[in-house]
Amino acid sequence: MAKTDEIAHVSIEMPESNRMVTSSIKEKLCHVSPSFLKSSIFRVPQKLRQRNENVYDPNIVSIGPFHNGTKTLAPMEKMKMWYLGSLLQRFTVPPPEEALEHIVESIRSLQRSARECYADPFNLEDETFIEIRPENTRLELFPPVTGLLQSGVKFKKGTPDDILNIKFRKGEIEIPPIKIQGNSESLFQNLIAYEQCDRHCMDQFTSYGVFLDCLINSSKDADVLCDEEIVVQALSTEDISLLFNRLYNDTLISEFYYGGIGS
């Protein structure tokens, strides 16, 4: 005699408290955003900050929304707007007012992706967020070497009499040769520090550091200058690139020595 197995379906009543928790989790799951995967700007974790909190907070100027509105940094806000105004005055085509409109529109179109770069949310109205971005944008005065080559600009080794005597004429940048070795970073940083301290000094070496930082964005840019014997290397091209990328950090320039080359 065949016996048929019967499966009993039992309905289990979920307690009201469990139902509420389940509903709450479902609601939160619906609002989970993958934006944290794109984050590249973070707040320092409290565990690290408690070691020495002062080293992580800006003392003079803030960049971005995290420290926007901090009273101790307020004096530099006017200075930032002054720098933005000075930058806009360099534009001839388009004129300054039109250039500002283009910048604002560009930032507005990038606002959502820019916000996603921040790991932590911040309470800042859209218009305020758009307003603080132009003044915090780092200015690249020149394209890198590889970009200039693609535009038809050539590089030539100049005379070694004066390493600061950089010239641009007829589509050719002439740069005096320079030897980069182990003590070069210390030498340049001390020269730059002296310029920063002596208000009577022209910002020649600081400008030189800015100029080479713009030109050398990667080891490929350094390779070109080495091939042209403009840079005589005792370091790797990767180390040369890193050296100039950090050479003038935390410095100010009252007048860019090579402004005529960028115009």
3-state class of 224 per DSSP? helix
The two three-digit tokens of residue 5, written as one number: 């197995």
Residue 199 or residue 36, greater confidence? 199
Distance of CA 171 to the CA centre of its chain: 29
- With beta carbons less than 8 A apart as the criterion, state whether 153 and 137 touch: no
Q: 127-186, pLDDT tens digit by residue? A: 555 455 554 444 556 788 999 998 899 999 999 889 999 998 888 999 999 998 888 887
Distance CA 192, CA 186 (A): 10
- What's 156's DSSP letter? E
Residues near 180 by Cβ (< 8 Å), separated by ≥ 6?
A: 231, 232, 233, 234, 235, 240, 243
3-state class of 62 per DSSP? coil
Q: What pLDDT was estimated at residue 32? A: 52
Q: What pLDDT was estimated at residue 120? A: 67
Measured CA to CA in angstroms, residue 148 lies from 127, 209, 256 at distances of 36, 18, 20
The two three-digit tokens of residue 61, written as one number: 């100027």
Distance CA 105, CA 111 (A): 10
- What's 57's DSSP letter? S
pTM over the 0.75 mark: no
What are the two backbone dihedrals, phi and then psi, of residue 156, each rounded to the nearest 5 degrees? -140, 140
Q: What DSSP string runs through 163-207?
A: TT--EEETTEEEE--EEE-TTHHHHHHHHHHHHHH-TTS--HHHH
Instruction: Count other Cβ atoms within 10 Å, centred on residue 216.
Output: 25
